[in-house]
Amino acid sequence: MALNRDGMERKTVDLLLRDCAAIPMDQLGRVLERVDIAIDGDRIVALGQDLPYVGRQTLDGRDHVALPGLVNAHMHECLTRGLCEDRELSRWLTEICFPLDAAYTPADITAAAGMNQLEMIRSGTTTFIDIYRHPAAAAAVTEQSGLRGIFSPQVIDEPTGVGEALADTENLIQAWHGRGSGRIHIWVGLHAPYSCHPESFTQGSELAQKYGVGLHTHLAETRWEVETLQARYGMTPVQCLERWGCLTSRTLAAHCVQVQPEEIDLLQAKGVRIAHNPSSNLKLASGIAPVLQWLRQGIPVGLGTDSILSNNNLDLFEEMRLAVFLQRLTSGDGAALPAEQALWMATRGSAACLGLEQEIGSLEVGKKADVILLDLRAPHLWPRLQGSLNNLIAQVVYAAHGSDVSTTICDGKILMHNRQVLTLPEEELRHQVGSQATDLCRRAGL
C-alpha cells in the first residue's frame, strides 16, 4: 500500500509526472513550480504539489517544464522539402506544388504523414489540422502515431487533377470522423477562392453545416490573390467568401495577410477563426499579417507552420518567436505581442481555432492529457530564474526549440520519452521517405 506524508493511502493512476515546473495556460502568464500532474486514462485528474497519487508509470519532471501539447492550426503533410526553392507564391504553385500534387498517390501520403507526424511528435505538437491529398492514408498513420489530427481534403477545381473532389469529402466524414478513439476528425477543405469555383465553396459550407464540422481554406494570402479575384469577380477574397456563404463560425482561414481593416471587422462579426503562419508568410514574401488588430478585435487566432515546402519545418516554437518579432517590427512597439500571448496562440488560441478549446490547449483537471515536457538543462535555456524574476515563459518563447522537448504525451499515451519516439519506426520511415520522394519527383517531371 502506498501512503502519503499524512499516512493516507495514495490513489493509483496510469501516469504521474513528478516535481516539474508547469505553464498550465489556464490563465495568461501563470507559472507553477514543483508540481505533479496525475493522468488516468486520457484525462488529467489532478495538478498540484505532492499529489496523493502513485502512478503505474511515473516520470521524473525535475529540470523540466510541463506545457500543454502544442496545436498546429495549419499545415499540409507533404513529402518533399528543400526542392526547387526561391519562388514567389504564384510561380511556386504553378511550377512546383501543382505538378507534385497531381502525382501524389496514397503510398506517397503514407510516407509523408509518417515523416510529418514523427517531426511533430519530436517537436511537441500533439494536435494538427492537415489540408492536403489522400487524407484517408494520412489518417491511418495517425491511428498508429497517437497524435490528434483533423483532416480536411484539399479540394481544388482549377487546375484539374491536383486536388481532392468535394463529392468524396462526405464519404470520408462517414468513414473516418471520430476514429482513433476520437482523436481523428474530418473537416471540409477548400484550397482557396482562386482555385475553387464559387459553387464548391457554397456546397462545402452546406456540407460542413450538415455534419457539424469545420471548413478550412486559404484566404487573402498574397496581393496576387487579391488582384486575381478582383479581376475575375470584381471582389476581394474576403468579399468572395461572404458572397458564397462561407464566412461563418465554422470557418478557419489560413493567412489573411492581405485583409483590409473593414474586412477584419467582417471576419470578427462572422466569427471566423484565423491561422497565422509567420514563417511561410516570410519565405513566400506574402507580407506581415495584421495579427495585433485581429487580437484587439477578439478574433480567435492560432499558429500554424504551413507545409515543409513553405517553411521548411514544423517547429511551433520557431513560429511563436517569429510571430512576436514580426508584430514588433511592423508596429514599432517593443512591447507588442508579449511572450505569454504568443504561447497562448500556440496552445489555447489554436485549440479554439479547431473548436477543441474545451478539450485541449491547457493543463486543467478534466481536460485531455496532451502534455509535453521541455528539458531546461541546455545552456541556451539558462539561467532559470524564479520568484519575482521568473523568466520561464520568456525562455520557452524566445529561446527554446522543438528539439528541447524530451517527452510528448497525447490522449494520456506517451508517444516520446527521452527523445525516443515510441509509436513510429523512425529509421524505417527515413528510408521509406527517401525512396518515395525520389519516385514522386520522377512522376511529377521535376
pLDDT of 2: 53
Label residue 91 by pLDDT band (50, 70, 90): confident
Label residue 85 by pLDDT band (50, 70, 90): confident
Cell of 402: 522543438
Whether 148 has a pLDDT exceeding 50, the answer reads yes
Whether 4 has a pLDDT exceeding 60, the answer reads no
Q: What is the mean pLDDT of residues 299-312?
A: 96
Helix axes 198-211, 166-176, angle to 10 degrees: 20
At 338-380, the pLDDT tens digits run 999 999 999 999 999 999 999 999 999 999 999 999 999 999 9
Whether 188 has a pLDDT exceeding 50, the answer reads yes
Label residue 396 by pLDDT band (50, 70, 90): very high
- Residue 56 φ then ψ, to 5°: -60, -30
pLDDT of 382: 98
Q: What is the mean pLDDT of residues 261-285?
A: 97
Assign residue 60 a region: left if phi > 0, alpha if psi is -120 to 50, beta otherwise?
A: beta
| DSSP SS3 for 247 | coil
Label residue 215 by pLDDT band (50, 70, 90): very high
Cell of 113: 504523414
At 222-254, the pLDDT tens digits run 999 999 999 999 999 999 999 999 999 999 999
437 within 8 A of 425, measured Cβ to Cβ: no
317: enclosing H helix or E strand: helix 316-331
Q: What is the mean pLDDT of residues 261-268?
A: 97
d(CA 36, CA 401): 24
**Lowest-pLDDT choice from 13-22, 82-91, 114-123:** 82-91
At 37-63, the pLDDT tens digits run 999 999 999 999 999 999 999 999 999
Q: What is the mean pLDDT of residues 283-302?
A: 97
At 427-440, the pLDDT tens digits run 999 999 999 999 99
Among residues 116, 108, 202, 220, the alpha carbon closest in space to that of 155 is found at 202
Label residue 92 by pLDDT band (50, 70, 90): confident
- The residue ranges of every structural domain in the chain are 11-68+367-421, 70-353
| DSSP SS3 for 295 | helix
| DSSP SS3 for 133 | coil
Cell of 309: 515546402
d(CA 270, CA 192): 18
d(CA 362, CA 415): 18
pTM more than 0.95: yes
For residue 347, the tally of other CB atoms under 10 A from its CB is: 29
Chain position carrying cell 463529392: 167
d(CA 423, CA 401): 22
pLDDT of 1: 40
Fold of 70-353: TIM Barrel (3.20.20)
CATH class for the domain made up of 11-68+367-421: mainly beta
Cell of 219: 484566404
pLDDT of 6: 54
164 within 8 A of 204, measured Cβ to Cβ: no
pLDDT of 5: 53
217 within 8 A of 192, measured Cβ to Cβ: yes
**Lowest-pLDDT choice from 20-29, 79-88, 132-141, 318-327:** 79-88
- Residue 33 φ then ψ, to 5°: -115, 140
At 17-33, the pLDDT tens digits run 999 999 999 999 999 99
Among residues 423, 384, 391, 395, the alpha carbon closest in space to that of 407 is found at 423
Whether 199 has a pLDDT exceeding 60, the answer reads yes
Q: Is 291 exposed, middle or buried (0-12, 13-18, 19+ CB in 10 A)?
A: buried
Average pLDDT, the chain: 96
